[in-house]
Structure 1
Amino acid sequence: MLAARVLADYFATVAIVDTDMLPSQPQSRKGVPQSVQPHVLFAKGYRILEALFPGIGAELSTAGALSIDWLREFHHFTYGNWSANTTSASEIISCTCSRPLLEWAIRRRILEIPNIEIIAKHRATGLVRDSHGDRVTGIRLRPVSEVTESELVATLIVDASGRRSQAPQWLESAGFTPPDETVVNPFLGYATRRYRAPVGFDADWKIMLISQSPPENTRLGYLARIEGGEWIATLGGYSKDFPPLDDEGFLAFARSLPSQRFYEAIASAEPVSPTYAHRATANRLYHYEKIRLPQGFVALGDAVCALCPIYGQGMTVSAMGAIALRDWIKQGYGSHVNALDLDTSDFQKRLAKQNSLAWTIATTQDLGFPKTEQHPTNNSNKSSSGKLGKFMRWYNRQLMKGTSSRPELHALVLEVGQMLKSPLSFYHPKIVWQVLTVISD
C-alpha cells in the first residue's frame, strides 16, 4: 500500500492486486496469516507513515492505538538486567497496535486516492514479456476461485508480495535470470496469545521485551499493550526450542524466562484468544542487485529482504523501501516519468544498499546461535560467522550490558534500533570508551 501511495504521484493509474476480499473493519485475513502475531512500527517507519498520510497517527489513536515513547515506555531485559529508562519525554515516538488495525487505517487512506484501485480476490500468476524480450509489460492474473487467466497490462510492475513472493520463478519462466538467494535460518518459533488487561491495571510500560542472548539463552518474551485494553503476548525460542501451544506449557515457558515480569503479567490477565504458532522466521535475501533485471519490473519489502521478525524491522524496512522507490523515480526522472526509460536495476542496487544494515544487524545476532544454518556459506555474509562477526557480537554484548546502567547508551541503542541513526554510531570513539568502561566496571 505504501508503494502504491508513492507511485500514485507519478502514474495515471495504480492497481493493487490482492488475493483477499479486503475487510472494511480491522480484522485478520487469510492473505496475511502472520497478522495475529505482534507487529511494531519503529519511529522511522512511523515518521514515514505520517509524511505519506498526514494525520494518520491521530486517526490510529482515535481507533485505539497507543502512542509509545520508546525511551520511557519500552522496558527491555537483556543480559540479566532491565534497561535504564528515562522519566522525561523523548522524540523516539511511534504507536503500538495490532497489524490489522494499522492495515485498516492505511487502507482507508489509500481508498481516498482516486487513481489507486484495488483488484481484490485475484492472484498474480506470472509475468508477461514483450515481443523484444527485454522488458515486462504486465502480469498474468486470475480470480482466486477460477482457472481462466487474463493479462493486466502495466508499464511498471512492483512485487510487494512479501515472503511468499514467486517473482524469482516468474522471471525464470519468462526467460530472465532469477536472483540468487541467501538464507540465514536461526530456527526461531513463536507462540502468540492475546490477553485482556486486569481490572485496575497500571504500569509504566507499553512494550516489554525479555531478549534472547546467544549462544546459550534461546528464549524470549514480548508483551505489548494494544487497542481495546488488550495485550499481545509472544514467546519465542531459537534453535527449535519452540514454546508450547497448550495453556500449561505456555505459562511454564513464560516462567522459564530470566525475568518473571512477563509471566507475572500474563498470569494475572484473562486469555481472550487461542495460541497461534509462527515459524516462518528465517532471514532471506534475494540478490536482485546482482542481476540485469528486465525493464518494467522491481521488487521491494519482504519480497527482497525478509528479516527475522523478532527484531521488529520488517514494516519499517518496507516503508523505507517505498520511499526509496519514490526517490529513485523523483531524482532520476522528475515529475515527467517515462516508465519505458526507468532503469530498474539501478533501483535494486539502491534498495540493496539501504537494506544492508538491517540485514547485518539481524543476521549477525542470529549467527551467534550454534544451530543457525546459513546458505550458501561461501558468500559475503560469511564474515558474520568469522572473526569480524565474533568481534561484533562481543562488542554489541558489552554495549547492551551498558544499557542497564547508562541511559545515554540505552538511548543510542534505541535510536539505532529505531533506524534513526546509523549502526556506525556504536563505534564513535566516545561510545567505544563508554563500552570499555562498562567492561572495567
Structure 2
Amino acid sequence: MVDLTQAVVVGGSIAGLLTARVLTDFFDVVIVVERDRLPAHPESRKGVPQSPQPHVLFTRGYQILEELFPGIGDDLRQTGAIPIDWAREFHYFNEGAWNCRTDQPTHIASFTCSRPLLEWTIRQKLAAFPQVKFVDRHRVVNLLSKNGKITGVELESLPERGRSTIATALVVDASGRGSAAPKWLENAGFKAPSETVVNPFLGYATRRYSAPKNVTFDWKVMLISQQPPDATRLGYLAKIEDGQWIATLGGYGRDFPPINEPGFLEFARSLPSSEFYDAIITAKPVSAIYAHRATANRWRHYEKIKPPDGFVALGDAVCALCPVYGQGMTISALSALVLRDWLARSSRHSADFQRQLAQSNRFPWMLAVGQDSRFLTTEGRSRSNWAENLLSGYVKQLMKQTSSDSETNTLFMEIAHLLKSPAAFYQPKIVWQVIRDWNE
C-alpha cells in the first residue's frame, strides 16, 4: 500500500539535501537514500569523487540556503567557512588583465569553504527536522509502479546486497551525474529521456595547501581564467577552513594538468599571470594532488518525454554543467525552489515539473555550452552564427571594462551570481561605454 504522506529522495548530496528540506513542508516522512556511509564529520565521500575539487557557492545559492535553513550562515562561520564579498575579494584575471575591485562592501556575498564542510553543515541542519530519515549504505535498483504511476523503490543494501522496498507517493532522483534513473524507467516499462552531451575535455588537478603565516593577500578567491579558443589553461585558488587553501589547475581540450609535484608547479608557472604560482610556492602542501575529468555538460531531456507521475528528477541527474563555471550548487538550489512551487499546486503531474525545471536550467546551460563551444576541441560544440559572434564580441569588450571600472565589475558579479538578469548588460549607459571603447 502506498503511503501518501511519504516521499523518497535518491541521493544524499547537496541537491538531495535541499530537495529533502523542501519535501518536509509537504510530507510527513521524507526518506533520503544514499549509497555511501554518511560521515559524522566533514570528510570526502567515495560517491562524490569531485568533493576534493573546489566548489563555488554563488550569492543566489547562499540566499536560498538561508531561506531553507535560517541561520546556516552562522553555522558555517562557526565551522570555519570564510565569508566573502565577491565584488571586493574575488581576484579575477581575464582578457589579459585583473578585474577592478570595489573597496566598498556589497551585497554580493556568500562563503568559501570545502565541499565536504558545506554538505555536512547542510546535513546537520536537515537532520533537525523530525520528518527526515537517512538510509545510508543503500542504493536504489528499481522503481515500483502500478497503473502507470510510480509507487515506490526497490533498495539494495551495501555491501550485503539484501533487497527491500519502500512504498511512497513521490520519488525524487537527485543522484547526480551517475544517475541510473533512465534505466529504472525503462525497466518499469516507461520511456527514458534522450541526452545532449557537450564535452570540452576539461581536466582538473587539485591540491590543498597550508596558508603561509607571514604573507598576507588581499583576495579570498583568485581565478586566472581560460581564454578560448587558444588559451586552454586556468588556475583557481581559494581560502577555505582550517587556514588552508584549495588550489586547482585546469586544462581544456585534454591539456590536463599533471598530478606529480614538478609537473603541477610547471603547469602553474605557465599560466598567463604569475600570481597563482607565486602564491602556492609560499605555502606548504598538505594533501596529495587529485585529478578529476568528469566535466562534460550533460542534459537528460525529461522535459521531452511524459515521465510517470510519482517520479521527478533534478540537479545533476538532469542538467550537469561543466564545473568550471561554478554553477552546480546554485542550480541545485534553484531546482529545489522549482520543486517547492510545483508541490504547492493541486495538480502534481511530473511532466509539468520537468518542463518548469527545464526553463530554470536553460540559461545556465546556454552559458556553459556557449563558452565551452568556443574551444574547437569541444565534442558536440554548437556552431555560432553572425549574431552570436557579434554578441560574443560585445561581451568580450565589456569584460575588458571590468579591469578598469569597478562599477562594471560589480555588475558582472551581480549577473554571474544570478542576482540580476543578463539584460542588465544592455543598459544604455553600458552599451554606450562598450561601443565607445570598441571604436577607440
The alignment's TM-score, normalised by the length of structure 1, stands at 0.94
Counterpart of 2:120, as a letter, is: W
Q: Does 1:72 align with 2:78?
A: no
Q: Aligned residue for 1:349?
A: 355
Distance in 2 between residues matched to 1:391 and 1:292, nearest whole Å: 38
Q: Secondary structure at 1:164's aligned position in 2? A: coil
Q: Aligned residue for 2:379?
A: 373
Distance in 2 between residues matched to 1:307 and 1:398, nearest whole Å: 25
Number of positions where the alignment pairs a residue of Structure 1 with one of Structure 2: 424
Is this contact kept in 1: 2:102–2:407, CA < 8 A? no
Choose which of 216, 219, 222 in structure 2 pairs with 1:205.
219
Is this contact kept in 2: 1:368–1:393, CA < 8 A? no
Is this contact kept in 1: 2:212–2:284, CA < 8 A? yes
Distance in 2 between residues matched to 1:314 and 1:28, nearest whole Å: 18
- Please state how far the C-alpha of 1:390 moved relative to its aligned partner: 2.7
Q: Does 1:105 align with 2:104?
A: no
Q: Aligned residue for 1:12?
A: 28
- Please state how far the C-alpha of 1:398 moved relative to its aligned partner: 1.4
Is this contact kept in 2: 1:221–1:262, CA < 8 A? yes
Q: Secondary structure at 2:45's aligned position in 1? A: coil
Counterpart of 2:379, as a letter, is: E
Q: Secondary structure at 1:34's aligned position in 2? A: coil
Identity %: 56
- Please state how far the C-alpha of 1:168 moved relative to its aligned partner: 1.2
Distance in 2 between residues matched to 1:25 and 1:146, nearest whole Å: 25
- Please state how far the C-alpha of 1:401 moved relative to its aligned partner: 1.2
Distance in 1 between residues matched to 2:218 and 2:356, nearest whole Å: 40
Deviations for 1:114-172, whole angstroms, at most 9, x for unmatched residues? 00100011011121111x2x111111101011233221111000000010111112112
Of the structure 1 ranges 56-65 and 388-397, higher mean CA displacement relative to structure 2 is found in 388-397
Q: Secondary structure at 2:111's aligned position in 1? A: strand
- Please state how far the C-alpha of 1:201 moved relative to its aligned partner: 2.6
Of the structure 1 ranges 194-203 and 419-428, higher mean CA displacement relative to structure 2 is found in 419-428
Query: Stretches of 4+ moved more than 3 A in 1?
Result: 384-389
Distance in 1 between residues matched to 2:127 and 2:174, nearest whole Å: 18
- Please state how far the C-alpha of 1:200 moved relative to its aligned partner: 2.2
Choose which of 22, 37, 49 in structure 1 pairs with 2:65.
49
Distance in 2 between residues matched to 1:5 and 1:201, nearest whole Å: 42
Counterpart of 1:351, as a letter, is: L
Q: Secondary structure at 2:51's aligned position in 1? A: helix
Q: Which has the higher helix share?
A: 1
Choose which of 294, 299, 309 in structure 1 pairs with 2:308.
294
Q: Aligned residue for 1:234?
A: 248
Choose which of 143, 148, 151 in structure 2 pairs with 1:137.
151
Distance 1:391 1:185, change over 3 A: farther
Counterpart of 2:43, as a letter, is: Q
- Please state how far the C-alpha of 1:203 moved relative to its aligned partner: 1.2
Counterpart of 2:154, as a letter, is: R
Counterpart of 2:130, as a letter, is: P
Is this contact kept in 1: 2:114–2:241, CA < 8 A? yes
Is this contact kept in 2: 1:365–1:393, CA < 8 A? no
Q: Does 1:26 align with 2:32?
A: no
Q: Aligned residue for 1:87?
A: 103
Choose which of 182, 193, 215 in structure 2 pairs with 1:168.
182
Distance in 1 between residues matched to 2:88 and 2:331, nearest whole Å: 24
Counterpart of 2:261, as a letter, is: D
Distance in 1 between residues matched to 2:342 and 2:143, nearest whole Å: 23
Distance in 1 between residues matched to 2:274 and 2:92, nearest whole Å: 13
Distance in 1 between residues matched to 2:420 and 2:143, nearest whole Å: 38
- Please state how far the C-alpha of 1:6 moved relative to its aligned partner: 0.6
Correspondence list, 1:140-151, <5 A: 140-151=154-165
Counterpart of 2:263, as a letter, is: G
Distance in 1 between residues matched to 2:401 and 2:32, nearest whole Å: 46
Is this contact kept in 2: 1:357–1:423, CA < 8 A? no
Q: Secondary structure at 1:192's aligned position in 2? A: strand
Deviations for 1:307-362, whole angstroms, at most 9, x for unmatched residues? 000100000000010011011112x13xxxxxxx5111111111100110100111
Q: Aligned residue for 2:368?
A: 362
* Residue ranges of structure 2 left out of the alignment (5+ in a row): 1-16
Q: Does 1:319 align with 2:318?
A: no
* Residue ranges of structure 1 left out of the alignment (5+ in a row): 334-340
Distance in 2 between residues matched to 1:420 and 1:309, nearest whole Å: 20
Counterpart of 2:169, as a letter, is: T
